[in-house]
Structure 1
Amino acid sequence: MRVIVSLVLIFLCNKNLIAQGAIKSQADRLHQYAGHWVSSKHAGTAEINTYPAIKMNNISVMDKQSMQVEVLQYQDGEYKTLLTELIGYDAKSEQIIALGQNQQGVIFKGVGRFSSDTKWKMRDVDMLGNFYLSVAFDFQSLTNVLLEGLDESGKSLWKTRYIKSNPKDKNIGIQLVSVHQEMLKDPKNTLTELGRMGYSYVETFVYDDGAFYGMSPVEFRDLVQANGMQFLGSMTFHDLPTDDNWQSALKWWAKTIDDHVLADVKYLTTSNNQLKTVKTKAELKRYTDYYNAIGKLCREKGITFAFHNHADEFKLVEGTRIYDYFLQHTEPEYVHFQADIYWMDVAGVAPIEYFKKYPARFLSWHIKDYKELGASGKIDWLRLFHHPDFPLPKYMVAEVEDYSYPPMYSVQLAWEYLYYSILN
C-alpha cells in the first residue's frame, strides 16, 4: 500500500514542479493585490492589532484586468474612507494605470508596472501634473505586501505592511494536495497563506504512521487552528486485502481513526485504485463489505466515513455501474460519499442525477476543474451550486491539480471564484 501511495505522491509532486513558474502578465501580477487587506502593527511585523489602523478592500473586475480599491482608516472609533482608486492594466501602453481620490478631495493619476513577479512601482501626479507620490510595492508572499511611500528624489516617507484577511463566512475548504509540494516543504507558512486567503478548513492528503506532514495529530490540528482554520477532513488509503482476513487492515484503520479523533477530524475519506481489474459483482461485494466495516469503526468513534470517486467507479461490471453498486450495497449509517465533480465529468456522468437520487448520501464534494476553478468552461458550477432539487453536500472542498500559475496563486483564484462568482 505504501508503495502505491508513494507513487501517487511522486506523480503529484512532478505535476507541481512542472506547473511552477512565473506570473507572467502585468494583469495577473496586479491581481495579487485583489482581496481584503489590513495593516500590520508596524512595517517590520505581520502581527495585526484588534482594530488595524488601515483596512483595504480591493475588488477585482473586468476579468482580472482591473480592481476597485477602497482604503479605510480607523478614526474616532470607526473606519472612514481614506481614498478610493480604480487600478487597471492598460493593454495599449502595457502599463498599470490608477485614478484615485483622497480624503482631502485631491484626484491623482498613477502610472507604473511590475519589474518582476513581486516588485511593483507607481508614480502619482495630481490633475495639474504636479508630482504627488511614488509608491513601491514588495509582495513578500501572496498575502503579505510591503508598501513604501517615496518623495520625488526617492527618499522614503513611510512604510506600511498589509496582510491579506479574506472573509471566511462561506465556509470554503481546501484539499491540501492542491499545494502538496508547498506543504511538504513548509507546512507552517503554507497554512498561514491559506488561512489569510479565506479558506475555513483543510482536508489532508498525507497521513503516515500517525503523523500529518511530519507532525503529531494534536500538533497539526493546533497549527491549522492557529491560522484561523479547522482540520475537518482527511483522505486516507489502505487497499482491500487480497484474502478475506481483514484483521490487519481493520487494525490499521482502528489506529488511523484514533489518530484522527485526537486531531478532532470530522470525516475520513478513501478512494480505490484497484477497480480496473474488477470483473464480477462478487468482487464488488467484498469492497462494500470492507467499506461497511471501516464505516462502522468510524461511527463508533464519532467520525463520518465517505468514499471518494475517480473515473473508474463509473465502468460497468456485469451490467451494473460500480458507483451505483457501491451506493446500493453500503450501509447509509456507515458509508457516505464524497463526489469528485471533475472525475464525474471525465467519466461522462451527471453529478446532479446522483445528488437528486441519493440526497442524503453525499457528505462532501471536491470542487475541481480541468484548470483553475471556472477556467475551463466545461463544468456548469452555477447550476450545480444553485440547483433547486437537492441539498448541497455539507463540506465543499476546493481542489486544483492542473495549474496555469504557481499553485499558491491558483488556489487563491479557486477561493475567489467560489466566493465571488458562485456563492455570492
Structure 2
Amino acid sequence: MMLNASQIKSLQPGAHADAGGLYLIVRDNGARRWAFRFTGTDGKRAQMEFATAGDKEGQLSLSEARDQARAYRLALKKDGIDPRHKKRIEDNASTTFAEHWNANYKAWCVGKHPDEEKAWQRSLRDVPSLHKLTLQEIDTTHVKKALEKIWHEKPITANRTRGRIEKVLDAAKVERLRTGDNPASWRGNLKFVFTSARKLNKKKGHASVPYAKAPSLMAELNDDPTRVARCVEVGILTVARSQEIRLMEWTEIDFKKRTWLIPGEKMKIKEDAEQKPRDHLVPLTDQAIAIIKTMPRLGRYVFPSDHTVEHQPFFPNALTNCIKRAGFDATMHGIRTSFRNWGADNEKHNFRREVLEFCLAHRVGDEAERSYWTSDMIKRRRIAMEAWANFVKPPD
C-alpha cells in the first residue's frame, strides 16, 4: 500500500514501503530519511538513503521523493547507472575539471621526472575552455574544441595533453564523479576526428654533426670556458640525453669504479607501469672524468647553470645554443646519432649492434628476449665508449 502525505510525520520507527523501490526510513530518534532499494548492476540488492523527508528547505516531500526514485530507476534501466553513483555525481555536480585536475595531478607525478609536474601544469594551461566545465558535462565536443587549437601546432604535446585529460576523466569515473564513456579516449573516438600526432610530427631527425667533424666540435668546446661547454663535452663523451647530462648529480658518480649511475626516474625509457623504472649505468672514460673533476662542488648538480641565482641545472636550449656558438648546427640528441653512425662504420672494432644500442640506453629485442637478457654489457660498452672518447678527444 502506498504512503500518503499525512503518514510521513506519524509513522513509527522502521522501513515503510511506498512504491517503485521508495522507502521511508524512520529511526528511533525520530529522524526520517528517504531510501531507494534496487538491484545493482552487479546483481546484488542494495539500499541508498538519498534525502531527509519533510517540507522544509533542503528536505524532500513525498511527491519529490517519488520523482527522485523514478529518476534513479530510469537511469538504472536505460543507462545502467548505479543510483549510488548517480547520487554522488549530483552531490559533487559543482566540481570543475580544473579543480579535479589540480587536486590529483601531483600524486600522479610522484616517482617520475622532476619536470613532470610542470608538464601537467602546461597541459592544463593549453585547454582553458575545459577549466570551468563540471566533470559530468564534458563531452567529446568539448575535448575536440579544446585540443584542435594546438593539435596541428604541436601535435606530440597535444597528444600528451589528451592523454592527461583522459586520465583525469577516468579517475573521475572511478571516484563516481562522472559516468559514461571517456570523451578524451583515442580509440573509437578522437581517432576519427584528429590525424595521428605521429603522422603530423613526421620530420627529419635531430640535427647532427657528421662524426668525422665531431673532433672539431670538441676542440671548439675546449676553448669555451663556460660551464655549459663542460656539460656538453661530458654529454658527448657519454652520449647521454640532454636531460640526463643536465641533471647529473655528484652522488651518482663513482670515481673508483669510473661509472655514472643514472636513476631510472631520469631515464626516457621506463619499464612497465607495475615495475620500477630501470637505472642505467654509464662507463666513464678518462676524458670524461678529467672534465668532471674540474667542476667545483657548488651543490647537488655537477653542471649547475651560471645564469640563475639558485642552484639549478641548465635549461635544454642552453646546450644546443652552446653547440651553435661553437659553429655547428646540431643538438645533443643529434650527437647520439653521430655516435651511432661512427660505431656502425667502425671497421677497426666491429662493434656489435647490441653494444651500441646499450650505450645509447635503447631497448634491444622483444619482451621475451629482454626477460632473459639481464646483462648490462658494461665491459663491452666501456671499450666502445673509450674508443669513441679517443676519437673525439684524443689523449694529450
TM superposition score normalised by structure 2:
0.20
User: Whose strand proportion is higher, 1 or 2?
Assistant: 1
Larger Rg: 2
User: Whose helix proportion is higher, 1 or 2?
Assistant: 2
